[in-house]
């Protein structure tokens, strides 16, 4: 079991700072997702953890010991890539056993561990197949077995499911989560897909432009995003300007009561947000925190209705029940439930 610490980790390429003073602690046995749009520095960070790339400055620690000067093959961190790089001319068993052969593990022990790993990735008895006889999903599972067979301290997965179709991706996510728990291996999973990160990770590190934006449990990205940009990445663009004074926010639509203890923003200018699924479209007449809005559009989605509203000049998206009915252009009263209001800094 190995903990990983990134300390002020920075990597520059000519005029680009790909990773900028990244500070992160990953607990032993934890699965952390590095999440962010393409080009935000996820792969660069992984490569510095494995040793494929030297940092410009900063440090990487395994179990509190700096490993920056330790060569890749001695770090005990293995990486699985988006494109499986299996050797096409040798068997699946030989592919999986490759790392063990490098370590000069004896044949009998090697065969035992290879079978064990193929069983773990749900490909029992596949030892004698060739890589080109396997589907994309099977090849990715062989790549996973090959990485795990050497009992790495840290497993690094760089968008390993990006090339798979939607159903297979779902199945593979479950398999990865199952194996990771079973082996208790410290794992970093890179993805640009926020849903994938939420499903898999104990904690998510969200990066934009090489800078860590928020490091938290998945729920926090929905309920307590750190900025407008983070909220947007998690599909919440519902915003209303205001001024916070204690447990109230004054807005153009009246005064809202907030749960003061929950907030991170001090008194002054704020942006009020409530997630699409948390706005109440059919409040009781006497309910608190009701504001006026206008229906702009509604789309029946089967399980719910997506309603676009004008809220004091801002466009909000709200999930109503499947049978929600309103006419476009109608004024409606909506409730922003006090426990669901989150205040964001004005950027």
- Kindly tell me which of 208 and 324 has the beta carbon lying closer to ligand ADP: 208
The site partner of 41 among Mg ion, ligand ADP, none (C-beta below 5 to 8 Å per kind) is ligand ADP
Which position has the token pair 């999930």?
319
From 22, 26, 30, 42, residue interacting with ligand ADP (rule: CB under 6 A): 42
Return the closest-CA partner of residue 175 out of 198, 202, 154, 145.
145
Instruction: Show the binding pattern over residues 10-29: x = contacts ligand ADP (CB under 6 A), - = does not.
Output: ---x--x-x-----------
The count of residues interacting with ligand ADP (CB under 6 A) is: 11
Residue 49 engages ligand ADP in binding (rule: CB under 6 A): no
CA distances from 329 to 166, 182, 230, 252, 282 (A): 38, 54, 31, 20, 17
Angle between helix axes 136-148 and 166-183 (nearest 10 degrees) is 20
Could you list the beta-strand ranges (E) of the chain: 4-13, 16-26, 31-35, 57-62, 65-66, 77-80, 154-158, 186-191, 203-208, 211-216, 240-245, 248-251, 254-257, 268-273, 290-300, 304-311, 314-321, 331-335, 342-344
Residue 43 engages Mg ion in binding (rule: CB under 5 A): yes
**Coil, strand or helix: which one is 18?**
strand
From 5, 25, 39, 220, residue interacting with ligand ADP (rule: CB under 6 A): 39
- Footprint (CB under 6 A) of ligand ADP, residues 154-213: none
Shortest separation between residue 172's beta carbon and Mg ion, angstroms: 18
Radius of gyration (C-alpha) of the chain in whole angstroms: 24
Shortest separation between residue 156's beta carbon and ligand ADP, angstroms: 12
- Kindly tell me which of 18 and 307 has the beta carbon lying closer to ligand ADP: 18
The site partner of 95 among Mg ion, ligand ADP, none (C-beta below 5 to 8 Å per kind) is none
The site partner of 169 among ligand ADP, Mg ion, none (C-beta below 5 to 8 Å per kind) is none
Residue 187 engages Mg ion in binding (rule: CB under 5 A): no
Return the closest-CA partner of residue 155 out of 82, 74, 50, 52.
50
Return the closest-CA partner of residue 214 out of 203, 222, 205.
205
From 41, 51, 97, 242, residue interacting with ligand ADP (rule: CB under 6 A): 41
The site partner of 40 among ligand ADP, Mg ion, none (C-beta below 5 to 8 Å per kind) is ligand ADP
- Given a contact cutoff of 8 angstroms between Cβ atoms, the answer to whether 122 and 141 are in contact is yes
Residue 44 engages Mg ion in binding (rule: CB under 5 A): no
Region of 2-10, 38-46, 94-102, 137-145 interacting with ligand ADP (CB under 6 A):
38-46
* 260 DSSP 8-state letter: G
Shortest separation between residue 20's beta carbon and ligand ADP, angstroms: 10
Could you give the strand order of the β-sheet that contains 331-335, starting from the edge strand earlier in sequence? Answer: 314-321, 304-311, 290-300, 331-335
Residue 43 engages ligand ADP in binding (rule: CB under 6 A): yes
**Could you give the CA distance from residue 66 to residue 48 in angstroms, rounded to a whole number?**
12
- Given a contact cutoff of 8 angstroms between Cβ atoms, the answer to whether 182 and 120 are in contact is yes
- Kindly tell me which of 49 and 311 has the beta carbon lying closer to ligand ADP: 49
- Kindly tell me which of 12 and 262 has the beta carbon lying closer to ligand ADP: 12
- Given a contact cutoff of 8 angstroms between Cβ atoms, the answer to whether 61 and 45 are in contact is no
Shortest separation between residue 189's beta carbon and ligand ADP, angstroms: 13
Tell me how crowded residue 232 is: count the other CB atoms within 10 A of its CB.
12
Residue 35 engages ligand ADP in binding (rule: CB under 6 A): no
Residue 44 engages ligand ADP in binding (rule: CB under 6 A): yes
* Contacting positions for ligand ADP (CB under 6 A): 13, 16, 18, 36, 38-44
């Amino acid at each position: 079991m190995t903990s990983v610490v990134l300390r002020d980790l920075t990597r520059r390429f000519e005029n680009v700072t790909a990773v900028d003073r990244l500070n992160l602690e990953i607990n032993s046995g934890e699965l952390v997702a590095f999440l962010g749009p393409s080009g935000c520095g996820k792969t660069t960070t992984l490569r510095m953890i494995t040793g494929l790339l030297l940092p410009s400055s900063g440090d990487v620690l395994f179990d509190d010991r700096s490993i920056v000067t330790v060569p890749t093959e001695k770090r005990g961190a293995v990486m699985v890539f988006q494109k499986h790089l299996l050797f096409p001319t040798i068997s699946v068993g030989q592919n999986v056993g490759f790392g063990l052969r490098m370590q000069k593990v004896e044949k009998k022990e090697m065969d035992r561990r290879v079978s064990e790993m193929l069983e773990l990735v749900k490909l029992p008895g596949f030892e004698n197949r060739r890589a080109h006889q396997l589907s994309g999903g099977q090849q990715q599972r062989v790549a996973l077995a090959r990485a795990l067979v050497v009992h790495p301290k840290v497993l690094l997965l760089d968008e390993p499911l990006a090339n798979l179709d939607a159903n297979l991706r779902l199945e593979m996510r479950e398999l990865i989560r199952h194996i990771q728990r079973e082996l208790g291996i410290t794992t970093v999973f890179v993805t640009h897909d926020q849903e994938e990160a939420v499903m898999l990770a104990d904690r998510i590190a969200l990066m934009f432009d090489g800078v860590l934006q928020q490091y938290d449990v998945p729920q926090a990205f929905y309920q307590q995003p750190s900025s407008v940009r983070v909220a947007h990445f998690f599909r919440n663009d519902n915003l209303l300007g205001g001024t916070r004074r204690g447990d109230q926010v004054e807005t153009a639509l009246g005064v809202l009561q907030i749960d003061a203890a929950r907030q991170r923003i001090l008194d002054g200018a704020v942006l009020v947000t409530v997630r699409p699924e948390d706005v109440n479209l059919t409040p009781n007449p006497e309910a608190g925190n009701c504001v006026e809005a206008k229906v702009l559009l509604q789309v029946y989605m089967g399980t719910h209705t997506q309603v676009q509203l004008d809220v004091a000049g801002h466009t909000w998206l709200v999930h109503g029940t499947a049978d929600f009915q309103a006419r476009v252009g109608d004024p409606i009263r909506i409730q922003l439930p006090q426990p669901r209001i989150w205040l964001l800094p004005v950027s």
